[in-house]
Structure 1
């Protein structure tokens, strides 16, 4: 398991002191170039609606918060910040990207996409895999890219099948349930599980166990809100559609 000393090699740099946090922006030229090129390419080639363009730009803003803002550096020190970072990716940026991009994943792949995303979510939040991932740049990006890509695939398949609301609602509920189970295991663990943060939380007024409990709560509540909102929205549309069908049948 990675120790705090390994975090000097982490992508976002060594753990910052609280007083350094506001100036700890990640100005990696490669990252900024990729984000800028992706935005320019999308705006140039996209045939999407104004709403889709807004969704793409909003997703890019969320990714900037996750990877460029001081949240990137804070996630080296605090596991709770890492979970907030991951929830921004999979529960906010991913559905926005799935809506903005062409539907490349057919709806029939919804179950496979949901399972793939679930496996990766559990894998990268297992202590050994997480410890390995944050040790270096390549392993860090392997974790981040696979989490984001699997989430985009899940949301893309879900949006492609919005006419089949019951299936999508069930997939969203099951995704929330497994995420809640993972969050519960993290929250109620009796000891700190994530070695990289054992010596990096005290400066922020948290013990490693308190930081871990906060991380679990962030995944459990705020992390589930976008999925819950999607369930409510789809259920409302589905019920309204049923009412319209019944009204048309009655008139016929």
Structure 2
């Protein structure tokens, strides 16, 4: 069923958005490192996947679980790829500007980023808003844009291209751990509540004539909501744990190298605590 032509939205505007991202990146950062371009292409590819593939088609009023996958890509994965693609040297030059530096420092504060990242997911799963965004294209576009912007704000204190805007490793760990708790609570609520979290998915209109196949596969609206809750619960925390491990490695590598007081001759030098 996944290869059914009806389940692919080949005319989606996501193609245009992805191509504009790549084109602007190549124009602005002509000498960007290869790994930065790879991160951007990955983010652009996931953008296309989120809207062109069956994920995007089924998220449009058919499966709450597909809707959840799409939103996790928009909120967590794609913004992270975009930030990781930014060349550090070029961005450091840009943020020498006083206004940009002020904006960078504001974004580096953990509270706004945390509220944007966790709050956006909670807000758009209020039943009336969730249904409205699913049934109305304009509201849906607003929701998707807000996810991307909220994701950029959320990841900025962790992956900002300028080092001074990043949280210290231990603070970053607390930031991500608390975000994991926020996603877990929402996931538990969606998984175990008897309330229909997004009524638009309770009685979908079978425009593509695929509901019989979906229900035969066991994806009834109740089971679909439980699956969506699990997707809200497990993958985000797995991602957070992966980033937490990277922060722990960074913190450990920083503590491995210390600088002793200068010797009388003034030639103090760094040394490894593991040196014999």
Q: TM-score, normalised by structure 1?
A: 0.83
Higher relative contact order (CA 8 A, sep 6+): 1
* Residues 191, 228 of structure 2: 8 Å contact kept: yes
> Structure 2 vs 1, CA of residues 237 and 221 (structure 1 numbering), >3 Å: closer, same or farther?
same
Shift of 1:68: 1.4
Supply the RMSD in Å over aligned alpha carbons.
2.4
Distance 2:7 2:108 in 1: 43
2:191 maps to which residue? 187
Distance 2:191 2:111 in 1: 28
2:17 maps to which residue? 34
> Structure 2 vs 1, CA of residues 245 and 21 (structure 1 numbering), >3 Å: closer, same or farther?
farther
* Residues 46, 73 of structure 2: 8 Å contact kept: yes
Deviations 1:78-110 (A, max 9, x none): 000100111122221111111113487336323
Q: What pairs with 1:34-53 in structure 2 (closer than 5 Å)?
A: 34-46=17-29, 47-53=31-37
Distance 1:213 1:79 in 2: 9
Q: What pairs with 1:44-193 in structure 2 (closer than 5 Å)?
A: 44-46=27-29, 47-76=31-60, 77-101=62-86, 102=91, 105-106=104-105, 108-160=108-160, 161-162=165-166, 164-193=168-197
Distance 1:44 1:212 in 2: 43
Distance 1:203 1:135 in 2: 22
Deviations 1:143-173 (A, max 9, x none): 0110111111211222234461111111111
Deviations 1:2-25 (A, max 9, x none): xxxxxxxxxxxxxxxx57845422
State which of 242, 245, 255 in structure 2 corresponds to 1:229.
Answer: 242
2:214 maps to which residue? 204
Distance 1:90 1:40 in 2: 22
Shift of 1:249: 8.1
* Residues 118, 175 of structure 1: 8 Å contact kept: yes
* Residues 22, 70 of structure 1: 8 Å contact kept: no
After the TM superposition, which of the residue ranges 126-135 and 196-205 deviates more from structure 2? 196-205
Distance 2:190 2:13 in 1: 33
Shift of 1:59: 0.4
Gaps of 5+ in 2: 205-210, 260-269
Q: TM-score, normalised by structure 2?
A: 0.77
Gaps of 5+ in 1: 1-17
Shift of 1:241: 1.3
Distance 1:139 1:23 in 2: 24
